[in-house]
A and B are shown apart, each in its own frame.
Chain A
């Protein structure tokens, strides 16, 4: 009983890590732009596929010539994937969101555009690469550390550590650096900030770089632990991560982090107790109850509206 409980807690930590990593990206973009970037889940999917492409490129095309081993390829894959995924996110911002922002379109039109961008990404992937599921190459041998009561794999440890490190890094960036101060300032008052000489557009691009880069990281880590990739894998995870971010209190990094882990825990525990088809039903009901009890999320602040 205790063994399975600890094992489930570890699984929940791993599962929650992905949600947290994606929810952090949602939260950054929302905090600065007040825009629900619905394409974020699909950026995560694109990140996983870019990781697959980069890894197979180094293993297959260059590997025999350079003699790269698995860990070296992984060390190359992660930063490259993060950079390329960040480029995808910034591209979306530049071609789809920025012109609308410039025109002063209604906020919801930008949200719809984001939804459409997500559809383009996932269906474009399906159309170009086909519907066959692709498998991620095994880059590092799986090691199992047995602690008697429970056992963990090295990938699981890496995922949980990555989520925590990313959270600490983002918290540092947002609270301690000038860039973070500018981000908070934009979300505070986007009309006065340009007058202070802060380049709003570059701050927004930086936000997208951060969010999309970490979505790419989440994609690679996801592909390493569940090595089956398909074009629609980002949609469901993305929606759920967004809900997690909201339950945590959107616009607050701690909230996104906590919400991701909360959703991971709820889902894994529901599957452990109930039949697995009930997962969405029960977990979303719990989230609805939380939102009804605290309408602005766990870490959210109630806003006052002036008339």
Chain B
């Protein structure tokens, strides 16, 4: 069942969404689904049910077609998240470079475990699989920025910087 949408794209994002949909051949507008989910998440912080229903109407597809895609891909947050989502690489090469120890420090510093959000709503910590920066590990990503060659001290600096 679709919900009455209170969420919609801002005029700028609506223009961008329209441009994205026009990239695909006639009748293949569903191809815009992943890019539009990214756009919605950029605007709202997460892909809420209302936001997904809005996208379904925009693409003239069933809401379930949006839900099944949003839940398949790990980059879409289908639950509310904090202001900064830290996506920490937990995969082999990063671990070889001390990734597990640095992750332990990060958890301690934030006072949360993987999957949780700090009480002040500032940080959500997620563990993700390989970020394709293996030679520069340990590494995490916050939005579009990669933070590489992490150490405990560097993690503290980054958290201080993002907390400002």
State whether these chains interact: no
